[in-house]
Structure 1
């Protein structure tokens, strides 16, 4: 008889390591894989596999530091909603109430930068539009429209030395992809949420995070800039190449993450360990609290993980872009997370109401409130869509549930 812990069969969970090794690590498709599976508030299975730095032959460990990129977004969203709980703003407040230069945002009609033809937005952008990616903003890497081409030209990616104030200023002059609330598009909106946190709290984003989320949860290995004394734990990041190989994309010794390099990105700027991110995810799974430290109210979190798309729509029916950190089918979107709405349509095992997000270099997490289950996975391969590891991981984890 296999050992069962918190209703999970350990022998079945061990298939995760075997699968990752035979399918991804040994064939050289992924550099490393670090996984945590927890249920009912308890870590049931965890393992670090592969190399955090292939060139230097440094093994991945449970305390390896990873670029979590867009897994920064849920942290930023929770931080902003902490201020909502203090009555600092309302979700239907127009963004221009706090960013006056955004009062008369225009919507793209035709043309190329800087000669855009625009029309006025049908209504002002609200803070909920930002949190739910219904703002009309975009990302330069989308490579889909003349608007996101302007983002690339202006280098609005956080690595060009722009300050957060500069970003907000540039965005005020660019047209939106669509009128706020009429569609969904993955975008710089969460970076704008980071700016709003600074405006509403009077603190720089990194200080606010430290005081209100990272220190209370004892997340001592999560930061925007890797400290010099922890560089030996910082993973290399790789780029997927044709033929299912990869090449070095960001050397940990010379990475821009080792020094201040532009604005503090609430949309993708954090570096963390799987243990630290597990603490954040477990606080959410517990309804907003961990080890006596409450970072968000239970009802606030329930509200955040509802589907906030119009009329309960799912992403395929309202999305304008082709990419985000979740498969679209069967998913809606809340305030900072994707939310599973239709399990059969998603074609991936799970429960209604499951929520989570991922990052550009393949990191991911999800929380299943029905099963009181959470999974965090870390690797460093861009783009995250190179392989279907996230969906395979779900099949392996749910296959180990026995009660």
Structure 2
């Protein structure tokens, strides 16, 4: 397979690179301390075509390939990890809405997402669930003209900033696991919805929080996909976002390495530049090797998706390995800058804290390894485990 970008892909990437270097990088630390996204900056991204390039043309997108979306995500994240969330959420959630929501909803919302005017979040995680994504308690009950929602979603990205969300809820009381789970497109300004904001150590502008539904009534057309069978159908989109997450994490690590290469050529110790010492250059050489391999994995995964091939295992590899390794790389760059690297004047601490959150969110390393194992040996290991515990296979 050929992973070299085409001229068209490079042109789109170059636009994102210029925006990231000229508009984002110099003020990343300032924005990182604020608990809200700069919506004017988001609209500027939209005007440049930097949001949801893969979304269908009929809804205002450019209909480009998934690899181009990855190139643009990585380029933006080089300048500001948090702002790159806008592109990632747009591609993930916009794709879900375009494929599974009603046409009227798609026509109303997707063009506004692409323009940077609206943000669509994902309401999946619940307080008692965590990694048990299908163990939902939030209920959706049928009414005469639609559905009534009651319950809580937590650890939701942009919880208090998203304008709408895809909300997963249980619609069948007699079932457990993913059976009986439906998805709904919900305008988060509906009556009966309240929200909170968490004070996390990283990704403050994006933010996480909880969303509470207290007898929230939504029309029947808000149902997405097939009633009671939405979980597996819609969750397949995560094979895309996990590759994007990998590239989102690679970018700040690459920026950290680039800055450290420059620093060790300028800084002197014992009468010579730090770059003359193998103890300094070898960790950076290792980091460059790891970044190159991880980048290839992410684009290989997107290439598989573009060509219509299965990429579930590869996406899970991106999700567990890349956030972990890029945190280690950023940490090493901080150390190589000495005590100056430990100050808040430099961006290493912020990049580390921002990337660290993705070792937890969107599926932990343990969950991703389960996914990889199941792709390789089927569900035999899970069945054996249930039998050993006295459960049904």
TM-score bin (small chain): under 0.3
Q: Determine which structure has more spread, i.e. the larger CA radius of gyration.
A: 2
Where relative contact order (Cα < 8 A, 6+ residues apart) is larger, the structure is: 1
Q: Could you say which structure has the higher strand fraction?
A: 1
More helix, by proportion:
2
TM-score normalized with structure 1 length:
0.26
Query: Normalising by structure 2, what TM-score?
Result: 0.27
